[in-house]
Structure 1
Amino acid sequence: MQLKKINPNLQKALVENGLEDAFELIADTFSTVKSGSDCVIASPGATGKTTLLVINAIQKLQKPEGESTRAVIIVESKEKVLEMVELFRKYGQYTGLRVIGAHDKGDIDYDKNQISLGIDVLVGTPTKINAMFASAGFNLTTVRFFAIDDADVLFKNRQDAVILRLAESIVKTQFVFTCSEITERVEIIADKIMTEPLFFETDDSYEDDDSDDEEE
């Protein structure tokens, strides 16, 4: 995968997993996301959006550091949580980043204990992440990368209030939304929590990415 100034450990894992060439979506947005800009990225299903978030989170964090969570990625369901954690396992294998997934069917006490031991990336459903941080009083001020996959779907399912509440607890971070389309609700939430967000919209001309999510 030919991406400018990519972390060598990330590059090595991408090549070993068959991603020598960048998906067009990732190639078009990698530098902008890497720069730290707040972004909303819209593209059809199976074009690399989930992979994009994983790659950029790994690029931003680089290696384990401290005990507090530095990246939070919110996804729609248990299946999405498991999918993304597996992508982190593959593409972050040479970075040592500590990643856990939390979903509505998991044990909240176990998940909270894992966070207290020290992690770098938390992937989870909105209600589970909100419950974990609300009940345990975990610190969100260390979060440097806050992303939402399938933002249009989550906001349509009325999860925007939870996400706004979480975002308000973060002092300074980079926000990235991915979605199939930039709906009015996506724009409203982006304007509320992002700083001068950049909007990217693509079309159906991108090739499919079988490892990516299958949005509605």
Structure 2
Amino acid sequence: MQLKKINPLLQEALIENGLTEANEMQQETFSTIKSGADAVIQSGKKSGKSTTIVLNVIQRLEKQFMESPRALIIVETKEKVLEMVEMFRKYNRYTQLRVYGAHDKGDMDWDKNQISLGIDVLIGTPNRLDLMFATAGFDVNRLLMYVVDDADILFKLRLDAKTNRISESISKSQRLIFCNKISDRVEAVADRTMIEPLFFEMED
């Protein structure tokens, strides 16, 4: 995949999995995300938003580092958690970031114990992450990236209160919102939680 200054280990893993060409969204947003700026990225369903999230997280984190998570990714369902964990497994082959997924149907104590062993990327559903952050006291001072996927769907389900509460517990981090549509709720959350966000709207 040809993207400016892409990590060669990431590029090798992407090519091995058949991703040789970046789509419009990946080309347009790569430099902005790599710079650490806040952004809202709108693109239709099945347009590669999850892939864009995964490759950008790998690009920014590069390798294992200390124990606390450096990227937090919020997704809608258990199925989305498992899907993204699997995506990391494929594209993270040579960078070896430690990735963990937590969802509503998992065991809370098990999740906490696994995370305490040290991870780089935490993926989870809003309900589980909200509960975990409220009770476990995770160190979020090292977070570089806070990402919400399918934000318009989550916010329509009135889960924005939980994602906002998680965001408010994080003092300093890049914030990224991915959505199918930039709804009023998405704009409101961006205005409340982000610093001068850039907006990207991809054509369907």
| AA matched with 1:66 | M
Question: 1:114, 1:143 → 2: CA distance?
Answer: 18
Q: Distance in 2 between matches of 1:47 and 1:137?
A: 35
Counterpart code for 1:202: M
Per the TM alignment, residue 7 of structure 1 is displaced from its structure 2 partner at its CA by 0.7
Q: Name 1:80's counterpart in structure 2.
A: 80
Give the Cα–Cα distance (whole angstroms) in 1 for the partners of residues 93 and 109 of structure 2: 27
Asked if residue 52 in structure 1 is aligned to residue 40 in structure 2, the reply is no
CA RMSD of aligned residues (A): 0.7
SS at match of 1:196: coil
| In structure 2, C-alpha distance between the alignment counterparts of 1:145 and 1:49, rounded to whole Å | 16
Runs of 5+ unmatched residues, structure 1? 205-216
Which residue does the alignment assign to 2:71? 71
Q: How many Å apart are 1:134 and its aligned residue?
A: 1.2
**Code of the aligned partner of 2:128:** K
Match of 1:105 in 2: 105
TM-score with structure 2 setting the length: 0.98
1:160 pairs with 2:160: yes
Unpaired runs of 5+ residues, structure 2, are none
TM-score (norm. length: structure 1): 0.93
Number of residue pairs matched by the alignment: 204
More moved, 44-53 vs 131-140: 131-140
Q: Which amino acid counterpart does residue 157 of structure 1 have in structure 2? A: L
Q: Identity over the aligned pairs, expressed in percent?
A: 61
Q: Is 1:189–2:164 an aligned residue pair?
A: no
Q: SS of the residue aligned with 1:165?
A: helix
Shift of 1:132: 1.2
SS across alignment from 1:111: helix
In structure 2, distance between residues paired with 1:141 and 1:188 = 25
Report the CA distance between 1:179 and its aligned residue.
0.4
Report how far residue 136 of structure 1 moved.
1.1
